[in-house]
Structure 1
Amino acid sequence: MSKLKYFLIAGLLRIAGSLPLGLAQFIGKWAGLMAWHLNGRSRKTTDVNLKICLPELSAEEQYQLSKESMAHTGMTALEIPLMWEWPVEKCFGLIRETRGLELVDNALASGKGLILLAPHLGNWELTGLFFSSRYKMAALYSPPHIKEFEDYMIRVRGRLGSELVRGDRKGLLRLMNILKEGGVAGILPDQSPRGKTNVYAPFFGMEVRTMTLVNKLIQKTGANTLVAFAERLPDGKGFRIVVEEPVPGNGDADPVVAATALNQSVEKVVRMAPAQYQWEYKRLRHRPPGNPNPYYPHKICR
């Protein structure tokens, strides 16, 4: 059954990957808006997240941002097959502007490695592809549920030499070695971590489970840290690669202070393009024990 699912998904990806950017974004946008109007789980999660994370917005502003967010999520979903199936030169042709690349060059010129934080903002697949074309890079990933799909994912994401490593002990040791050699490690910093390598720290004001991996890598290797994303330009004009300094404190000896700085670093770039963040992800579901789950208020976190 898993092989059948793989061939079905791979076939759909190849079909979607044959689309031009404008058409893919058009289909994705209207699919996202349709999902928003149907008021299903994704819409409900988006609305909860916006209400908690951006309380300074009026009810009308949150309403409009919810709609825009799901439209952008739909566009991202249809763009990812392009990043996986298009020739890399064609993907890079979508990058119209860059901002802050000198920060990367300066960080690597120090002789230390660089941890590149790439939140689920804009098109993160294009972000990874762009930086893997310029630097010796390894990226952390979680294996997909369909085993056969893992080889495909590794092949398309690593076609410019980027090394994909699993989030296990062996993979983390490999990340450390890459950083000690002066390379780049790409990490998605805004996922709710599993296992014991986490602490509770505020994310947009709410205490949630947060990874300590970035802090541990800095402590072990002395690596620098930056935040990057590929911002979607309006009217199908392509993307802008943006690199920003993180909020100070990611390498602090106190893991809670470091995790707070990590979350604030994500917040910093999300506020630059809030409609392009993946608000339908249940980032706030893991809270300190005894607190209600914001998505299911009748359930208590343990």
Structure 2
Amino acid sequence: MLIRPIIFIIKLILSIIPLWSIQILGIIFGHLFHFFKNNTKNILIQNLACTNIYKNESDLDQAINLNISETGKTILEGLSIWASPQKRVLDWVSRVEGIHNIAQAKRLGKGIIFLTPHLGAYEISSIYYGSTHPLTVLFRPSRLSWLSNFMDNGRKKGLIKLAPTNRSGIKKILQALREGEAIGILPDQAANKGEGEWVPFFNRPAYTMVLVSRLVKKTGASVIMVYTERLSLGKGFAIHLEAIKSKEIDSPTGLNKLLERIIRKNPTQYLWNYDKHKGYESQLEKFK
């Protein structure tokens, strides 16, 4: 019974306080969360260490500490985005790079597939595009009903529609593409059982979705990689849009190579505490 009033209070606070306050609270939350959730912190450390992006222990330790702060910001920003009206979220967008790629894709008329990895403030880009154009976003519903309602209502801003990661959801995004509309996918989310392949991702096997390559082959849709970079404290966000050639993502292996390239642009803002490699031990022999 206490959940609803608590959520209401949290939503109210996060919809009022300025972005810099949200981000400072996020830093504090990130360190507290990973202090008490030691398993989650270990996943973050292992994932970041295995990338070999950082060549010495000092740089790696610094990156881990920074990533914990950035992850906390991501979580608090996400809650704030869901709690806030569309205009407030759009005001946080400081600049958009590569906007011409959208116009070029729309002229082709075969729909657009936006690939949005868990990098930076990834909830913002869909709201930006969906404020002026129809957008169907594929998402995995939360198992917690109270959180699911909060997420769903917070994401359905402007012209955004949601499609769950099941057969009915796949039908929805196919229909949207056939009508020349856009869809959004989190391409680094672990695929559902039977819907992915074990392929390398930063030097370890990851169960990667085949959906993206199949959608491109089936519809001929244009593909745009989009990520939202977090700028300095309270200064907002920069949305980056990059047109992707279909041959780059014609397989899960190609998709992961693309993701690695994008993540390397700003690795400390990636969600490394997400266990994309769960169950990979059974695949190690194939990758030796």
TM-score, structure 1 length as denominator? Answer: 0.87
Q: Deviation at 1:148?
A: 4.3
Given that 1:121 and 1:230 are in contact with CA atoms closer than 8 Å, whether structure 2 keeps it comes out as yes
Match of 1:41 in 2: 39
CA spacing shift, 1:204–1:85, aligned 2, 3 Å: same
Q: SS of 1:179's equivalent? A: helix
5 Å-filtered alignment, 1:133-212, equals 133-212=131-210
Q: SS of 2:128's equivalent? A: helix
Match of 2:129 in 1: 131
Amino acid at match of 1:259: P
Instruction: Identify which of 262, 267, 273 aligns with 1:269.
Output: 262
Match of 1:215 in 2: 213
Amino acid at match of 2:106: L
Deviation string for 1:218-263 (max 9, x for gaps)?
A: 12211111110111001211000111233653553xxxxx101111
- List gaps (5 residues or longer) in structure 1: 253-257, 293-302
Are residues 1:282 and 2:275 paired? yes
Q: Hey, which bits of structure 1, 4+ residues long, moved more than 6 A? A: none
5 Å-filtered alignment, 1:1-302, equals 4-5=2-3, 7-35=5-33, 40-54=38-52, 56-246=54-244, 249-250=247-248, 252=250, 258-287=251-280, 289-291=282-284
Given that 1:17 and 1:81 are in contact with CA atoms closer than 8 Å, whether structure 2 keeps it comes out as no
Separation (CA, whole Å) in 1 of partners of 2:38 and 2:5: 28
Identity %: 28
Given that 1:200 and 1:288 are in contact with CA atoms closer than 8 Å, whether structure 2 keeps it comes out as no
Q: Deviation at 1:5?
A: 3.9
Q: SS of 1:285's equivalent? A: coil
- CA RMSD for the aligned pairs? 2.1
Amino acid at match of 1:147: S
Given that 1:73 and 1:278 are in contact with CA atoms closer than 8 Å, whether structure 2 keeps it comes out as yes
Given that 1:176 and 1:220 are in contact with CA atoms closer than 8 Å, whether structure 2 keeps it comes out as no
Separation (CA, whole Å) in 1 of partners of 2:189 and 2:245: 18
Separation (CA, whole Å) in 2 of partners of 1:13 and 1:145: 20
Q: Deviation at 1:7?
A: 4.9
Q: Deviation at 1:76?
A: 1.2
Moved more, 29-38 or 166-175: 29-38
Q: SS of 2:123's equivalent? A: helix
CA spacing shift, 1:201–1:43, aligned 2, 3 Å: same
Amino acid at match of 2:91: G
Q: Deviation at 1:37?
A: 6.0
TM-score, structure 2 length as denominator? Answer: 0.91
Given that 2:131 and 2:158 are in contact with CA atoms closer than 8 Å, whether structure 1 keeps it comes out as yes
Deviation string for 1:137-160 (max 9, x for gaps)?
A: 100111111224434432221120
Given that 1:114 and 1:185 are in contact with CA atoms closer than 8 Å, whether structure 2 keeps it comes out as yes
- List gaps (5 residues or longer) in structure 2: none
Amino acid at match of 1:157: R
Moved more, 227-236 or 76-85: 76-85
Separation (CA, whole Å) in 2 of partners of 1:37 and 1:59: 20
Separation (CA, whole Å) in 2 of partners of 1:10 and 1:192: 31
How many residues are matched? 285
Separation (CA, whole Å) in 1 of partners of 2:281 and 2:28: 37
CA spacing shift, 1:152–1:33, aligned 2, 3 Å: closer
Given that 1:208 and 1:285 are in contact with CA atoms closer than 8 Å, whether structure 2 keeps it comes out as yes
Given that 1:247 and 1:265 are in contact with CA atoms closer than 8 Å, whether structure 2 keeps it comes out as no
